[in-house]
Structure 1
Amino acid sequence: MKPFRIRYWFRRQRGFESSTFAIRDLLSESLAGTLQRPARSALTGLGTVLGVGSFVAILGLTATTSSQIDSRFNLLTATEVSIEDIASEQNQFAGIAFPVDADARIEQLNGVVNAGVYWNVRLGTGTTVRSIPTVEGGGGEQVEIVAASPGLLRAAVPTMAQGRIFDDYHSEAAQPVTVIGANLAARLGITTLETHPAIFIGEQPFIVAGIVQDVERKPDLLLSVIVPRTTAERIWGPPTESGTRMLISTKVGAAIQIANEAPTALRPDHPGYFKAVPPPDPKTLRGNVTSDLNQLFLLLAAICLVIGAVGIANTTLVAVLERTGEIGLRRALGARGRHITIQFLAESGVLGALGGLVGTSLGTVTVVTVAVIRDWTPVIHTGTVAAAPAIGFLTGVFAGLYPAWRAARIQPAEALRH
């Protein structure tokens, strides 16, 4: 049993003596009780540290990633417009509503960077793509064939592993050339373009002009075989079903304007043949993303806090049982039941507050570390940092309610028998 450093002050009140518990003594005793067994206190506070640290890290990382989402929208999604051919759906037009010079018409609009028409080619069942010579043990790959004008590849902003994309010359001459993704090239056994490799789409040969390593827009292109639009029309004919689209990349701030002007620029006689899809509102999508992340990860933080509260409650209850004699002696010296309650609540609160401070520090360090590694700007709201230690303190106080109530019910005579 630890030595007493506390004094219970007595004063006269309505004809009898009443004891008081000084705030200074309360804080001193609470801190001493917490540090009396530092190893056990540290392990007990670990749950609170994890809970509060998760709380700070989650809110900090979601705020940081939200900032990055805004930045990415400004660079990519906020500069992307999609135009859909809906003429066939309205039974107004048979074939492709996009004119042959659709790319040039859109690229003349102020604010447009690149634009290209594309559609998925519908081939017969079982049509495969294979290289010459065929890869050992393989019968070809069944992949999407995309017919595209040169502007589509430019709008997708590709990173080339080898070779180049096809250009206006290949498109105007309807050349049998193709561009494929790096993974598809590896599956087909194409490792270099120095030998001018060819692939067969069904029975049609195509020269591989380039291998794409990555794209900034339309990542599904990496899994497709891309051929010039005119070549696809010459070999397989125009698309017989709806699904022809145009991808437009714009300058920042011009996307909404281009979405309004594009249908008229493509077909002044029938702008209703097209449906323009402007970029989504980045604030709305960011709100949805951060809301989902917050709900998921704050649940994990709450679980950690519950675990920490259970640990504090268990340790405080054990401390009550171990210090029964001390509690009886305090009662005999004049301490009231509420003084005992306040003392144990203060001890559990100090334990929770210490865990909250450590967790806040660890959470902040985690956010800054992740931001530095990812080359981001860390964003942590001051309200989060200020609230986190308070959450730890309240968790400790809540966890100590039952042990403190039980300690206050111990009778002095019964306690001094231990």
Structure 2
Amino acid sequence: MGLRRSTPCVVEPSRLTTRDVLSEAVAGMLQRPGRSALTALGTVLGVGTFVAILGLTATTSSQIDSRFNLLTATEVTVEDIAQEQNEFADPAFPADADARIERLGGVEHAGVYWTVRLEPGTTVRSAPVGDGADGEQIDVVAASPGALRAAVPKLAQGRLYDDFASKSGQPVVVLGASVAARLGITTLETSPAVFIGDEPFTVAGIIDDVKRRADVLMSVTVPRTTAEKLWGPPQQGDAKMLIATRAGAAEQIAHEAPVALRPDHPEYLKAVPPPDPKTLRAGVTDDLNQLFLLLAAICLVIGAVGIANTTLVAVLERTGEIGLRRALGARGRHITVQFLTESGALGAVGGLVGTALGVSTVIAVALVRDWTPVVHSATVAAAPAIGLVTGVIAGLYPAWRASRIAPAEALRR
């Protein structure tokens, strides 16, 4: 009787196809949809913040450019540096400084101003009634009419003093709205007056806002000639000139102004042209990016912690399932891939939703502010990938722990 040869039993290695991995990941998320949604919320917030911040930064940068061109790019300041050149030199600005500069092509308004150095203890008070009757310590600024016009003021009441009031040394003042409130002056219908020390002044107007030189709002402004008559000329280095130019003329005016003012000693004056708009925008954009991207990173970390926590809880809850899969031939790497895919899918979904919310936020803010929304395509493309990577990183430890579960121990549970 012959012996039969036995056929060796070949065990096929277990395989986990891409389709199986994706279907298991979707099934894992849909098994508890509420918890999955809450888990992805952190990633939604992080990615949404990331997209919104970069979009809003790009949008506001374009607004910085336009506002810069309208205001800062048309502003030139001239400083008196005669003392640095010659300690015996007189103040550099001539009496007709405004007229000399306004004759230059491209100049709209120009004027000299300085903070008056009053005697110690000199106060400003309203006369003779009002909350400010006891006097306030308030800066007094001497300014020619051109300097006030160059500041682009918005009047709440009254008017600015004119060239006639300045040339004749009239005792008139212009108050900032906050200063008027401190002095108890609410209306000009009663022709209120203020006292600077013992000198009376009629209030010509109240300024509500300015586009240049915001310190005007916190000061009492008097005509230049009036200040020189009462308190003397400015001391060396105190006086400055503010020049408002037409667009594109600032650089040229900055070169011409010292020569026009002091052809004998142009070195006594230093003209400060507007800064480079590209440098200004880059500085502002970098500051905004650093500040708000830190916030986005914090949100992403919170989202990653949420995904890691939920995935770890899912591993503990599905210990029996993992043990059964291992008993049926699933390898440790298959379990790892399964849970990494699930956490990555949560992160990717959160990234997609966050991208949509971030772009919507940028568009909504731009519409409200009447801006042009700017969102770079690279930002939109990278945001979902950031969510995916966040989810995968968050799932590394739970997936590794799931792959270490022994089949026999898992089935006993």
Query: Smaller-chain TM-score range?
Result: over 0.9
Give the one of 359, 366, 388 matched to 2:361. 366
The DSSP-based 3-state class of the residue aligned with 2:51 is helix
Tell me, yes or no, if structure 1 residue 78 matches structure 2 residue 73: yes
1:271-290 alignment to 2 at 5 Å?
271-290=266-285
- Superposed CA deviations along residues 296-329 of structure 1, whole A, max 9, x for unmatched, are 2111111111111111111111111111111122
Distance in 2 between residues matched to 1:341 and 1:117, nearest whole Å: 75
What residue is the counterpart of 1:214 in the other structure?
A: 209
The DSSP-based 3-state class of the residue aligned with 1:130 is strand
Tell me, yes or no, if structure 1 residue 193 matches structure 2 residue 166: no
Once the two structures are TM-superposed, the CA of residue 28 in structure 1 deviates from its matched residue by 1.4
Once the two structures are TM-superposed, the CA of residue 270 in structure 1 deviates from its matched residue by 0.9
The structure-2 alpha-carbon separation of the partners of 1:172 and 1:127, relative to structure 1 and needing over 3 Å to count, comes to same
- Among all aligned residue pairs of Structure 1 and Structure 2, give the percentage whose two residues are the same amino acid: 75
Distance in 1 between residues matched to 2:313 and 2:374, nearest whole Å: 41
- Superposed CA deviations along residues 95-151 of structure 1, whole A, max 9, x for unmatched, are 421111111111111111111100110001111111112324751111111111110
What residue is the counterpart of 1:406 in the other structure?
A: 401
What residue is the counterpart of 2:7 in the other structure?
A: none
Give the one of 117, 121, 125 matched to 1:126. 121
The structure-2 alpha-carbon separation of the partners of 1:411 and 1:202, relative to structure 1 and needing over 3 Å to count, comes to same
Tell me, yes or no, if structure 1 residue 112 matches structure 2 residue 107: yes
Once the two structures are TM-superposed, the CA of residue 92 in structure 1 deviates from its matched residue by 5.0
Report the AA paired with residue 79 of structure 1.
Answer: T
What residue is the counterpart of 2:370 in the other structure?
A: 375
CA RMSD of aligned residues (A): 1.4
The DSSP-based 3-state class of the residue aligned with 1:59 is helix
Give the one of 253, 275, 279 matched to 2:248. 253
Distance in 2 between residues matched to 1:69 and 1:35, nearest whole Å: 47
Once the two structures are TM-superposed, the CA of residue 26 in structure 1 deviates from its matched residue by 1.2
Contact 1:160 1:213 in 2 (8 A): yes
Contact 1:353 1:393 in 2 (8 A): yes
Distance in 1 between residues matched to 2:139 and 2:342, nearest whole Å: 67
1:45-64 alignment to 2 at 5 Å?
45-64=40-59
Give the one of 28, 34, 49 matched to 1:33. 28
Report the AA paired with residue 78 of structure 2.
Answer: I
Distance in 2 between residues matched to 1:136 and 1:69, nearest whole Å: 41
Gaps of 5+ in 1: 1-14
Distance in 2 between residues matched to 1:202 and 1:137, nearest whole Å: 13
Contact 1:95 1:238 in 2 (8 A): no
Contact 1:134 1:188 in 2 (8 A): no
What residue is the counterpart of 1:301 in the other structure?
A: 296
Decide which moves more: 238-247 or 162-171. Answer: 238-247
Give the one of 74, 78, 83 matched to 1:88. 83
Contact 1:134 1:140 in 2 (8 A): no
Contact 1:95 1:239 in 2 (8 A): no
Distance in 2 between residues matched to 1:377 and 1:112, nearest whole Å: 31
The DSSP-based 3-state class of the residue aligned with 2:111 is strand
Report the AA paired with residue 232 of structure 2.
Answer: G
Aligned length: 404
Decide which moves more: 364-373 or 216-225. Answer: 364-373
The structure-2 alpha-carbon separation of the partners of 1:46 and 1:138, relative to structure 1 and needing over 3 Å to count, comes to farther
- Superposed CA deviations along residues 221-265 of structure 1, whole A, max 9, x for unmatched, are 110111110111111110124221000111111111111111011
Give the one of 165, 170, 175 matched to 1:170. 165
What residue is the counterpart of 1:270 in the other structure?
A: 265
Distance in 2 between residues matched to 1:79 and 1:125, nearest whole Å: 37
Contact 2:127 2:133 in 1 (8 A): no
Structure 2 length-normalised TM: 0.95
Distance in 1 between residues matched to 2:216 and 2:35, nearest whole Å: 58
The structure-2 alpha-carbon separation of the partners of 1:240 and 1:270, relative to structure 1 and needing over 3 Å to count, comes to same
Decide which moves more: 76-85 or 286-295. Answer: 286-295
Report the AA paired with residue 37 of structure 1.
Answer: R
What residue is the counterpart of 2:17 in the other structure?
A: 22
Once the two structures are TM-superposed, the CA of residue 94 in structure 1 deviates from its matched residue by 4.0
Decide which moves more: 367-376 or 204-213. Answer: 367-376
Distance in 2 between residues matched to 1:329 and 1:38, nearest whole Å: 24
Distance in 1 between residues matched to 2:198 and 2:350, nearest whole Å: 70
Tell me, yes or no, if structure 1 residue 146 matches structure 2 residue 153: no
Structure 1 length-normalised TM: 0.94
The structure-2 alpha-carbon separation of the partners of 1:98 and 1:137, relative to structure 1 and needing over 3 Å to count, comes to closer
Moved beyond 4 Å, runs of 4+: none
The DSSP-based 3-state class of the residue aligned with 2:141 is strand
The DSSP-based 3-state class of the residue aligned with 2:160 is coil
Once the two structures are TM-superposed, the CA of residue 362 in structure 1 deviates from its matched residue by 1.6
The DSSP-based 3-state class of the residue aligned with 1:19 is coil
Report the AA paired with residue 246 of structure 1.
Answer: M
